[in-house]
Amino acid sequence: MSENPQIEQNQPSAQPMKITMLADSTAGKTCYILGMYCGMWMQDHGFSICSIDDNDDKELNNNWARLLNEKAPDRFPAPTSQNKVYEFQFLSGHNPITEFEWIDYRGDVLQDNPNQQDVQEFNQHLQAASCLFLCLSGEHFQEPVTAKNKATIMYKTKALYMNQYLNKVKRYNKGLFPVIITLSKYDYCYKRKEALIEDIKSIFPGLFQPNSNWIVLICPVTLSFKLAEDPDTTEITAYNCHYPLIFAQYCSLRKQMIESYNSMERLEEELEELKSNLFKQLINLRKIKRIEKQLENLEDEDKKRTKSYKYMYIKKLAEYLNQAHESNADIYVNGERRLINIDNPL
């Protein structure tokens, strides 16, 4: 897409997507956020993000600058000690497409007393989550996952607790729900590239069952393939950090459009019932006219939408995600590994 389509004045949406991020406190969540936030500008897809809060923007950029400085004594940020909510805009060029919240929790919140205030806040946010982001450290996948070490790996990565929270998410959401599994610190285990996907699937078996209603991205990320060997002077490159957010935005825009289609179908069914006989038509004449007007408006919006920025962005995001397979970033729908149909990305 060579040009950015015109953005409607009422965008971004008033209901932002909520991404909830879960990980062990040593998984490198903060470093990943920096790689995503600043590294997006280094890609050729034309998308980027910016913080709505100026203070967060300054802090993120300053921390990124420290990461790039091999001589900085505090090059790497400390693990997250408290919950943090970021408010971002997702843009094409400099044109905003959507707003979203990125909710980063301290690692221990997954296993702490449910009566603690921040744990209660976490559970409330979980109910409202639009996308779940699971971050696993590659440090724990340097060797194959086996029956002997599986329990230890699931405990160290917090996958044991993540599985329990996935059950909660499933109770709150009935439709296809997006989950992103990032393998951070990929520099520790990239030589095991072919086996890693199966290892990850083995510790989250429920996500990969037929008809499970999960859409899952598995994506390895790192700030440099040499970082494990030389964390002090290695140059930062931010490998794959942009794909998870691209996936989350694709899922969010896709859901918005499908909900619009479903609204149209429900109105058509209601209208058909009201017109099923002459008596119903006579006593529901005003209601019939109102629904017909609603359908007319929705059909006009649908025609505009398929030619609008939103539908074009969905197709562009889908096309870019299909390229992620070359980087060992795989999408699974109901347990089946898939490419997205570019002609019909919905």
Tens of pLDDT, residue by residue over 221-260, are: 999 999 999 888 889 988 999 999 999 999 988 887 777 6
- For residue 29, what pLDDT is reported? 87
- Give the span between the Cα atoms of 56 and 154, in whole angstroms: 32
Q: Does a structural domain hold residue 325?
A: no
Q: Does a structural domain hold residue 199?
A: yes
Question: Containing domain of residue 226, as a range?
Answer: 17-253
CATH number of domain containing 114: 3.40.50.300
Token pair recorded at residue 210: 């037929």
- C-alpha torsion 216→212→259→241, nearest 10: -10
Q: Does a structural domain hold residue 82?
A: yes
Q: Does a structural domain hold residue 288?
A: no
Q: Does a structural domain hold residue 332?
A: no
Per the structure, the count of domains in the chain is 1
- Considering the entire predicted model, what is its pTM? 0.81
Segment 270-303, tens digit of pLDDT: 777 777 777 777 777 888 778 777 777 766 665 5
Q: Does a structural domain hold residue 69?
A: yes
Of residues 79 and 252, more confidently modeled = 252
Q: Does a structural domain hold residue 22?
A: yes
Q: Does a structural domain hold residue 276?
A: no
| Exposure b/e, 252-275, CB count within 10 A at least 16 = b | bbbbbbeeeeeebeebeebbeebe
